[in-house]
Amino acid sequence: MNLYLNQIAAIVWKDFVTELKTRELLSAMFIFALLVILIFIFSINLSIVKASEVGPGILWVAFLFAGTIGLNRSFMLEKENGCLMGLMLVPADRTAIYFGKLISNLIFLSIMELFILPLFMIFFNIDLLSHLGPLLVVVFLGTLGFCALGTLLSSLSSNLKTREIMLPILLYPLLIPIIIGAVRMTGQILDGTELFDMMKWIGLTASFDIIYIGVSIMTIDHILEE
């Protein structure tokens, strides 16, 4: 168990050191998410539409699109110079590789989201600070599901020539339950609803998070095999 956790930690450490040196992933995700929000802010007349009604959808579109860039890059890093083959040759359970990449992706996406949320608050003139706790719970649940499935599918699509196209085509339809749950909960939180009043949505999103992680554990062995 100790070795298993050490292997997961080693993968996360390696991804962090790489990102600290290249600064490719976080900057690309942040700029992309910011651009999505800017495009929407200029195309929506907020004097007609209520910001708390359109804001959640726009926020999650920004997170998803930017996150997809991150996921694509994540396994590309492993494909360069045959590094994935190197990982396959170490005496590690394949799920340790999956969890290492999942945690890296989750942390990188969460950092990007923490930078985007204040900008979203400023552009849409929405007070997020008074709902910060529940909002962070919802963002975490949505991001976890996105990363759980996204990490699995990016490992699958990394073997394809058309990986940049295939990842969103495979990922987005399967993410629908999580996206619906995350957008609905974000909207309700901005309207002042308490977290325990939306346990159905929390249950739905958390259930899909668990399902996606479970499916990944069961299939990652076959997906990583050539």
Partner 1 sequence: MESLENAIEVRHLRKAFGTLKAVDGIDFELKQGEFLTVFGPNGAGKTTLIKILSGLTQPSSGTAKVAGFDVAEGHPEMRKEIGVISHSTALYADLTPLENLMFFARMHGLEQPEDKALKVIGEVGLSPRRNDRVRTFSRGMLQRLSIARAILHDPAILFLDEPFTGLDLHAANVLKEHLQRLHDSSRTILMTTHDISCGLEMCDKVALQVQGKFAFLENISDVDKDRFESMYFDAVRDNQFAMGISL
d(CA 219, CA 151): 12
- Minimum distance of partner 1 from residue 226's CB (angstroms): 5
Which of these segments, 74-82, 129-137, 141-149, 174-182, binds partner 1 (CB under 8 A)? 74-82
Member of 35, 38, 76, 83 binding partner 1 (CB under 8 A): 83
**Per-residue x/- marks for partner 1, 84-103, CB under 8 A?**
-xxxxxxxxx----------
Find all residues with CB under 8 Å of 67, minimum gap 6, and list them: 29, 105, 109, 112, 143, 146, 147, 150
Q: Which is nearer to partner 1, 7 or 205 (CB)?
A: 7
Member of 80, 125, 192, 196 binding partner 1 (CB under 8 A): 80
3-state helix, strand, coil in the chain (%, to 5): 85, 0, 15
Task: Please count the residues of the chain.
Answer: 226
Confirm or reject binding of residue 121 to partner 1 (CB under 8 A). no
- Minimum distance of partner 1 from residue 30's CB (angstroms): 19
DSSP category for residue 81:
G
d(CA 75, CA 70): 9
d(CA 122, CA 211): 35
Confirm or reject binding of residue 81 to partner 1 (CB under 8 A). yes
Confirm or reject binding of residue 160 to partner 1 (CB under 8 A). no
Question: How many C-beta neighbours within 10 Å does residue 149 have?
Answer: 24
Which residues would be at the binding site for partner 1 (CB under 8 A)? 3, 6-7, 9-11, 13-14, 17-18, 21-22, 77, 80-83, 85-93, 225-226
